[in-house]
């Protein structure tokens, strides 16, 4: 990535705060450039919420954090119309979804009905309350976190909800050296949480997203993406492969990854970089594959190895 560009400053600021997770930061920035949303998945304590909050702060956008709980209602997210006797009229009390960056913390700890309240907001960047549609900001960006489904007290996200996320990013444990650096920073801050300053002006964000959308793409890359998608449908371990809309998601993310690298054209490596996070939540495994412990990530790794890379 070229030095001293808006995107390099953004990446550097995030890496200085979220230590030892460069792939997570790259995917997060890629999704924002592609105007998609991100689901961060990992066990408690691996800085998922810190990553989401740091991204919002670095972008210089207004953000709201919602802690998802089993008793959270759709109106707690969207808002509701409240009657005011003095005016003899209803007024909309806006919920936390009316923001630019929504940090949906532990989204899989609330029932599907409440999870579904975000569907329209994420897809259309608008919400409908009592039959009236209210627009959200063009930069509306959801960064959700969730713990693995085998942990107690979680609800699996419905397929329709998962599909609204451009990427599901796995957040694992950092390497030992990164953990030492993390602990050193915690010590020098005297236990205070890590923070990141705004590094981008809001006026430049739309320009960066437009630049990513305009990245050029050779016909061979389009064929490569389609071949990868169709290969997932033919895999013996997969019950339901990636859809045509998944191909569009892969291409959008690959163009954004190219923009993040500082180039104006997509390469096969850009596609290979984004395929795991874009597709790992869009494949349904066969029951016997799940019993045997096969994962979507393993299937995607095999697919990338089997499909010939265009020259």
Contact present, 14 and 47 (Cβ < 8 Å): no
pTM: 0.92
For 118-141, what is each residue's pLDDT tens digit? 888 999 999 999 889 999 998 899
pLDDT averaged over every residue in the chain? 91
Share of the chain above pLDDT 90, in %: 63
Q: Which fold has domain 6-70+98-190?
A: Rossmann fold (3.40.50)
206-235 average pLDDT score:
95
Q: Which tens digits make up the pLDDT trace of 23-47?
A: 999 999 999 999 999 999 988 888 8
**C-alpha pair distances (Å), 117 with each of 32, 68, 304:** 21, 12, 35
Q: What is the pLDDT of residues 66-85, one digit of tens each?
A: 999 989 999 999 999 888 88
Q: Which residues lie closer than 8 Å to 110 by C-beta, 6 or more apart? A: 68, 69, 70, 72, 155
3-state secondary structure of 41: strand
> What is the per-residue pLDDT for 3?
65
DSSP 3-state of 127: strand
Residue 221 confidence (pLDDT) above 80: yes
Q: Is the pLDDT of residue 19 over 80?
A: yes
- Give the model's pLDDT for residue 25: 95
Say which CATH superfamily domain 215-306 falls into: Magnesium chelatase subunit I, C-Terminal domain (1.10.8.80)
Instruction: Look at residue 234 in the predicted model and tell me its pLDDT.
Output: 92
Distance, CA of 207 to CA of 64 (rounded, Å): 23
Dist. CA 286–CA 296, nearest whole Å: 11
Domains 6-70+98-190 and 215-306 share a fold: no
> Do the Cβ atoms of 145 and 52 come closer than 8 Å?
yes
Contact present, 102 and 140 (Cβ < 8 Å): yes
Q: Which of 14, 39, 53, 297 lies closest to 167, judged by CA? A: 39
pLDDT computed for residue 2 by the predictor: 64
Backbone angles phi, psi at 62, to 5 degrees: -65, 135
The domain segmentation of the chain, as residue ranges, is 6-70+98-190, 215-306
How distant, in Å, are the alpha carbons of 8, 93, 118 from that of 53?
A: 19, 24, 19
* Cα(56)–Cα(257) distance, integer angstroms: 19
With H, G, I as helix, E, B as strand and everything else as coil, classify residue 264.
Answer: coil
Q: What are phi and psi of 126, to 5 degrees?
A: -160, 160
Q: Model confidence at 86, in pLDDT bands (50, 70, 90)? A: confident
């Amino acid at each position: 990535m070229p030095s001293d560009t808006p995107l390099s400053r953004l990446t550097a600021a995030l890496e200085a705060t979220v230590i030892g997770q460069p792939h997570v930061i790259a995917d997060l920035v890629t999704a924002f450039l592609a105007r998609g949303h991100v689901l961060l998945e990992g066990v408690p304590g691996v800085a998922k919420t810190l990553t989401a909050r740091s991204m919002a702060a670095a972008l210089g956008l207004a953000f709201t954090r919602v802690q998802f709980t089993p008793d959270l209602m759709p109106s707690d997210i969207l808002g509701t119309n409240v009657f005011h006797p003095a005016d003899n009229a209803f007024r909309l009390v806006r919920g936390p979804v009316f923001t630019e960056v929504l940090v949906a913390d532990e989204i899989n700890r609330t029932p599907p009905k409440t999870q579904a309240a975000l569907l329209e907001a994420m897809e259309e960047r608008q919400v409908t309350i009592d039959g009236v549609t209210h627009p959200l900001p063009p930069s509306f960006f959801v960064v959700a976190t969730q713990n693995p489904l085998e942990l107690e007290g979680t609800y699996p996200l419905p397929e329709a909800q998962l599909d609204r996320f451009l990427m599901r990013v796995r957040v694992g444990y950092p390497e030992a050296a990164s953990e030492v650096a993390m602990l050193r920073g915690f010590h020098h801050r005297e236990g205070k949480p890590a923070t990141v300053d705004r590094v981008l002006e809001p006026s430049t964000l739309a320009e960066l997203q437009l630049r990513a959308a305009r990245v050029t793409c050779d016909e061979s890359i389009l064929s490569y993406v389609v071949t990868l998608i169709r290969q997932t449908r033919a895999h013996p371990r997969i019950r339901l492969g990636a859809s045509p809309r998944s191909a569009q998601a892969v291409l959008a993310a690959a163009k954004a990854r190219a923009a993040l690298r500082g180039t104006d054209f997509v390469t096969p490596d850009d596609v290979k970089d984004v395929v795991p996070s874009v597709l790992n939540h869009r494949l349904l495994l066969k029951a016997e594959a799940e019993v045997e412990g096969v994962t979507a990530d393993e299937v995607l790794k095999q697919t990338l190895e089997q499909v010939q890379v265009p020259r």
